[in-house]
């Protein structure tokens, strides 16, 4: 396959409001496509609840690989409460409670009520935004699906896999706090999954990550566990994930 070049677009904001300034959307597409080419499959790239500019280099590296090597389109959004988007008081309080719970003098134990307060409102806000963005992206010329989702807060990925039928495969990153309710949602996930786990991630409950993988209802699910901390994902996993999406978004054996 001849490598392609990627073209980046910062799109207008989606039309549906969600109680505050709507998210920035960045889309990467092949710079040129043959006139008779099929619409490009789309990968939605999630990220941790951090400012989009801070995450951009990592997101762009993944997106450009998908575009240049596989001919996909890729897109990301700024999550609710991140960057210049408004915070909400309950989330700020949950973050403060989390910092206290993870302090050395507190023993590093994070209670379920803190996890729920931090993660569930974010999921409730982010998932409808992703769906609104997906509506607009699939209406653009040259993009036609099918759609994959990868990365980001794993609870957002789980919810999207349950409620969004246009997403046919997901690559999830184990490494974020997971509310008990999300374990129940995971049992309803049936699409193919590719899950990455950093075995020595100091901020991740390894056993909870393994329990979540076990809970997924998908008949096809693969767990890749690598030694190393949170940011130590081996370079080869980028293409391993891309080949997973190629199998499920294009039907090409990889």
Rounded mean pLDDT, 189-204: 88
Higher pLDDT, residue 11 or 116: 116
Q: What's the token pair of residue 113? A: 């009520």
| Stretch among 4-8, 77-81, 100-104, 203-207 having the lowest mean pLDDT | 4-8
pLDDT: is 101 or 77 the higher one? 77
Instruction: Report residue 16's pLDDT band, with 50, 70 and 90 as the boundaries.
Output: very low
> With bands split at pLDDT 50, 70 and 90, how would you rate the model's confidence at 163?
very high
Instruction: State the pTM of this model.
Output: 0.86
More confident residue, 107 or 170: 170
* Contacts for 20 with CB less than 8 Å, ≥ 6 apart: 80, 85, 86
What local confidence, expressed as pLDDT, does residue 109 receive? 67
- Tell me the pLDDT band of 158, cut-offs 50, 70 and 90: very high
């Amino acid at each position: 396959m001849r490598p392609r070049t990627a073209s980046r677009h910062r799109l207008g904001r989606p039309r549906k409001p969600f109680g505050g300034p709507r998210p920035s959307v960045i889309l990467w597409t092949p710079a040129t496509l043959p006139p008779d080419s099929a619409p490009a499959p789309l990968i939605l790239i999630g990220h941790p609840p951090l400012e989009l500019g801070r995450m951009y280099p990592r997101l762009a590296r993944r997106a450009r690989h998908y575009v240049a090597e596989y001919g996909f389109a890729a897109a990301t959004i700024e999550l609710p409460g991140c960057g210049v988007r408004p915070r909400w008081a309950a989330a700020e309080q949950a973050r403060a409670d989390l910092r206290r719970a993870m302090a050395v003098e507190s023993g590093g134990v994070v209670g379920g009520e803190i996890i729920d307060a931090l993660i569930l409102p974010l999921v409730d806000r982010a998932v409808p935004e992703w769906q609104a963005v997906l509506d607009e992206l699939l209406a653009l010329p040259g993009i036609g699906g099918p759609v994959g989702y990868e990365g980001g807060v794993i609870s957002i990925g789980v919810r999207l896999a349950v409620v969004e039928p246009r997403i046919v495969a997901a690559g999830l990153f184990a490494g974020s706090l997971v509310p008990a309710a999300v374990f129940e949602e995971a049992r309803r996930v049936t699409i193919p999954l590719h899950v990455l786990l950093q075995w020595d991630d100091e901020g991740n409950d390894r056993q909870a990550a393994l329990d979540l993988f076990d809970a997924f209802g998908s008949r096809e699910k693969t767990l890749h566990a690598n030694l190393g901390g949170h940011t130590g994902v081996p370079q080869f996993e980028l293409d391993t994930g891309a080949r997973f999406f190629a199998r499920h978004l294009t039907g090409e054996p990889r």
